[in-house]
Structure 1
Amino acid sequence: MFLIILTSVVLFVFWALKDSRRPSNFPPGPNWLPFVGNITTIAKKLKITGYHHLVWDDMIKTYGPIVGLKLGKRKVVLISDTDLIKEVSIRDEFQGRPDGFYWRLRAQGGRLGIVFNDGPDWIEQRKFSLIHLKKLGIGSTAMEDLIIAEILYFIEWLKTNSDSPINISRIFTIPVLNIIWTLIAGKRYDRKDKKLLTVCKSIDDNFQRIDTSGGILHHFPILRFIVPKASGYEALLANNYTMWNFLTETIDEHKQTIQPGKTRDFIDAYLHEINHENNDNTTFTNNQLHVVCLDFLQAGSDTTGNTLEFLIFYLTQNQEVQQKVYMEIDQVVGKCAQPNYEDRLRMSYTSAVIMEVQRLANIAPTGVPHRANSDAQLAGYKIPKDSTILLLFYNMHMDKNWEDPDIFRPERFLDDQGNLISNDRFAPFGIGKRRCPGENLARKNIFLFCVYLLQYFNLLPAPSFDINKKIEIVNGITLSPKSFEIIFKPRIK
């Protein structure tokens, strides 16, 4: 018995020493402990900073532009250098997506969808989605008309609440979601629809419970059996069921009403593909359809809405900027004429304001995580296969090359003649092969919402709005402002 215990202890010590050893030529970073890796280090720093992207920023400042960590059993590489981010974004061996507990939980145990998938299935699903959304009108004049119609609904609601403080938190979620959901499911929702509000709340809650490295359950899924509530598993599971049931109801309604040869929306197009007589392609399944729709649902209800909330905050806080935008609208569009997306070509200042909001807000501070598909070399370091790679766009947007990066200053995107200038450190939609596929729609949404709102309203601080206070942020996979109130004072009666 003693020999067995001694052997077990020796083997455990040997394993612990091996597990705590940094791989040869792995990027520099803090030492890690057996089993947990750098989890405790990250947890301590998170308590101080309050935000995961600031934890990564602290690591970069300590160890350099490329940092190697170990979270649980997984290697994680942080990259902040602009040239390295560009390199990772175009090299095939870095185009994977992490595979783990959370990513499979949202997809009912599979590797499905567009956002968190890779390989041949991802290529096929992405290609099919883009082709059919284009057929349904995305990118067309009809799509712009749809956006404008939704904005006008929103403006009418604001008019009924004008001159009184309005809480901005999530007021854009349903209007923005309606725009993409009309193409996906052929339906728009009232802003008071309880079912959709519950779904959007579930999306928000999930995004705030994890980070792009995967969260504690990603690294230690066994915790769901030991401490299901404290680990967040119960909440994640409940939120996922809410979203999944909503999608199941929506898809089942389509199955009951779909007609051969007729395509009303994206779900119809997908169901036709599933039911095609000669279709032996098993990547087109009901589960796959659920997760593709979930990708659109989450993207449609989150990032654009968050950007618009930040936009409202900065324009309210900077009244002189707001006035300049309004003057440009008045000059280019007029007080009563209907703006359109082509107007942006003559509205450099407004475009610069939007770009500055995107830079400073950093909605997706690390983008969507990448995964190394194979062992690879980067900047002279070895990146092991299956390492999670976080591209720190926050650091690109906030480094010293911008000068006073913490200051809201739209002029940084304009030359001396007032023309827009580009900057290779500005990448709100990502870079390369995994660049956001919804970028064009998001750009249209943000520009048109901005121009219409400022054409119709003067954005004034409510009594509770401290114009000198820095904006407070909600932590999560994506960043959003904490709730604040403003007054929409009509310019047009």
Structure 2
Amino acid sequence: MSDLLPNSMSYGGDVTSQAVSQGTEQEIVLYYSRYAWRRRKMPPGPFPLPILGNFLQLQSKGILPSLLKMAEKYGPIYTIHFGSRPTVIVVGYQAVKEVLVDLGDIFLGRGTIPVFEKFYNKSGMNLVNGEPWKQLRQFSLLTLKDFGMGRKTLEEPIQVEAQHLVDYFRSCNGKYVNPSTVLSCASSNIIADLLVGKRYEYTDDKWMKILQDMRDSFEIISSIWGQLYDMYPSIMQYLPGPHQKMFDLLQDLKQIVKDSIKNHQDTLDPACPRDYIDCFLIRMEQEKLDSKTSFHAKHLLSTVFDMFLGGAETTSITLSFGVLYFIKYPEIQDKLHEEIDKVIGRTRDPRVEDRNQMPYMNAIIHEIQRISDVLPMGCIRSAMADVTLRGYNLPKGTDILPVLTTVLHDPSQFETPGEFNVKHFLDENGKFKKNNGFMPFAAGKRSCIGESLVRMEVFLFFTTLLQKFTLKSPVDPKTLDITPTETGLENIPPNYNVIFLPRE
């Protein structure tokens, strides 16, 4: 018996090992059978591995460069797997236009964004779909318009904020400064006025730290760590690394929004709403007995938090890139100074209506927004119904990513897509011309809700600063690096210094 025992144990082990091996093989065969069945009418793409998806192809050069490289092989519409999550990638003006405009009603859904789902607790206007999104979107558009967004009534608060910027940079007395945090504070004050009826001083150390934390958080989100989290959230949430900080860095801002909502609740006068939060609270009270209402505290917190982030962060990045281009190319400033002096002069406050008489400034701003490409990967969408796209059948719920940088750099729309060229928005007579490829805010019914606000802010801030100052680099402009430090969710501008010299 003792001689037989090892043999019987060995025999049993072989059977177990064979059974496990066969089971694993069956799982793999089943996985790829399901994959092949699912993919039979989907756009082409690289073959994914179980769990990893196409990580190996994406990791080598970074996600965005890899997506652009794969488009050369598979065409303007192809399928990639972020982990086990299949996503249809769409590149180039024509294909993106089909998704966002021609089939815009089909691709109105918000796709899977693990980072922001955690930020916003899977709630708020930016993440919800269907009827809740329609209700929140319509309410937000109408309410923000009532408080001046896109209208002349908001011109004065922006003019006032622009003068605060002038006073601050004048107080620097010709010393070089890094303008990024102050520009972020200025842009945050405009959205803060609309949402919570408040303005923050540039000397408010607590608020300035919150804005810097916000920038630091978005740098991590745009890095490979944030991109890995979006591909493998169930794994990355347990692993140590810089990605763990991107959530903590925004907690102080979220707490400010919570405290502001509580203060609004305590001081609310339904007959005299002061801002967006008041109007939302009034609507909540009106519909508190409706079990299907989209107006409740969870959506209020996430929506205000999201608009704060979007209104402060993306606008400030545009402003930072703009100032960087002004000092990189001094000849641009010379032409802008000439146009400002001719149309406005040096004493009157710039007005939004001046933009119609300032084609060069208008074109420069458009080119800054195009070349800075603040949100290069765009924002993921989802099909709200089964749909055929260029012969491919996409089932309801398919995630689809229109890559906006491929529109803003499409050679069919822009003569020199990789270079700063104001002629992209100027005709042969020096008049401003529109360009269909200009989509920094996306397009269609789910485009950026704050587009009109950003356009107004950027024009008034840039025009006021250049009316009062000549911007100079403390180093040779030719040596200035304008390459983003991170390219992912956002293009993050490099740190730089600038000297604001009064023109008086």
1:315 Cα deviation after fit: 1.3
Contact residue 181 and residue 208 of structure 2 kept, 8 A: no
* Residue number among 12, 28, 33 corresponding to 1:13 in the alignment: 28
Give the structure 2 partner of residue 85 of structure 1: 96
**Which residue of structure 1 aligns with residue 448 of structure 2?**
436
1:483 corresponds in structure 2 to 495
Cα deviation, residue 445, structure 1: 0.5
CA RMSD of aligned residues (A): 2.2
Deviation at 1:283, TM superposition (A): 1.4
- Give the match's secondary structure for 1:166: coil
1:142 and 2:153 aligned: yes
1:279-331 deviation line (CA, Å, top 9, x unaligned): 52531111111011012101111111111111111111111111001100101
TM-score after normalising by structure 2: 0.90
One-letter amino acid matched to 1:98: G
Shift of 1:424: 1.2
Matched, 1:406 2:418: yes
Query: Could you tell me how far 1:40 is from its partner in structure 2?
Result: 1.9
CA contact (8 A) 2:174 2:500 kept: yes
Extract structure 1 runs of 4+ deviating beyond 4 A: 19-22, 211-214
CA deviations on 1:427-485 (whole Å, 9 max, x unpaired) are 1221111121111111010111111111000011113x542444120323121311111
Partner of 2:341: 330
Contact 2:125–2:299 (CA<8 Å) still a contact in 1? no
Please give the alpha-carbon distance, in whole angstroms, between the structure 2 residues aligned to 1:278 and 1:37: 44
Aligned to 1:107: 120
Task: Give 1:246's match in structure 2, choosing from 217, 232, 256.
Answer: 256
Match of 1:53 in 2: 64
Task: Mark the structure with the bigger radius of gyration.
Answer: 2
Once the 2 structures are TM-superposed, how far is the Cα of residue 193 of structure 1 from its aligned partner? 2.2
**Alignment deviations for residues 308-363 of structure 1 (CA, whole Å, 9 cap, x no partner):** 11111111111111100110010111122221010010100111111111111111
1:21-56 superposed Cα distances (whole Å, 9 cap, x missing partner): 47113222222212211012111121xxxxx43332
Within 5 A, what are the aligned runs for 1:194-205?
Answer: 194-205=205-216
Shift of 1:225: 5.6
AA at the equivalent of 1:442: V
The 2-side partners of 1:255 and 1:381 are apart by 50
Number of positions where the alignment pairs a residue of Structure 1 with one of Structure 2: 482
Quick one: structure 1 residues 212 and 432, their matched pair in 2 at CA, closer, same or farther if it must change by over 3 Å? farther
Deviates more, 1:389-398 or 1:274-283: 274-283
What is the Cα deviation at residue 400 of structure 1? 2.6
- Greater displacement, 197-206 / 316-325: 197-206
Residue aligned with 1:67, SS? strand
CA contact (8 A) 1:148 1:448 kept: yes
Deviates more, 1:389-398 or 1:217-226: 217-226
Separation in structure 2 between the aligned mates of residue 459 and residue 19 of structure 1, nearest angstrom: 60
Change (3 A) 1:361 1:237: closer
Unaligned stretches of 5+ in structure 1?
47-51
Paired with 2:83 and 2:144, the residues of 1 have a C-alpha distance of 40
Unaligned runs of 5+ in 2: 1-14
Determine the C-alpha separation between the residues in 1 that align with 2:223 and 2:303. 19
Does residue 316 of the first structure (1) align with residue 327 of the second (2)?
A: yes
Q: SS of the residue aligned with 1:15?
A: helix
Question: SS where residue 89 of structure 2 aligns?
Answer: strand
Contact 1:217 1:231 in 2 (8 A): no
1:49 corresponding residue in structure 2: none
Deviations, residues 376-407 of structure 1 (Å, cap 9, x unaligned)? 21111233433322212211222333232222
Question: Letter of the aligned partner of 1:29 in structure 2?
Answer: G
Following the alignment from structure 2 to structure 1, what is the Cα–Cα distance between the partners of residues 83 and 251?
27
Report the 3-state secondary structure (helix = DSSP H, G, I; strand = E; otherwise coil) of the residue aligned with 1:262. coil
Answer with 439-448 or 14-23: which moved more.
14-23
Q: Which letter does structure 2 place at the counterpart of 1:257?
A: T
Would you say the 8 A contact 1:457–1:491 is kept in 2?
A: yes
What does residue range 103-252 of structure 1 map to in structure 2 within 5 Å?
A: 103-108=116-121, 110=122, 112-210=123-221, 215-224=227-236, 226-227=238-239, 229-230=240-241, 232=243, 234-252=244-262
Indicate how the Cα distance of structure 1 residues 472 and 278 shifts in structure 2: closer, same or farther if over 3 A, else same: closer
- TM-score in terms of structure 1 length: 0.92
Which of the numbers 40, 64, 67 marks the counterpart of 2:75? Answer: 64
Return the alpha-carbon distance in structure 2 between the equivalents of residues 60 and 164 of structure 1: 47
Residue 110 of structure 2 aligns to a residue whose secondary structure is: coil
**In structure 1, what is the Cα distance between the partners aligned to 2:148 and 2:384?**
35
Deviation for aligned residue 1:191 = 1.7
Question: Residue 210 of structure 1 aligns to a residue in which SS?
Answer: helix
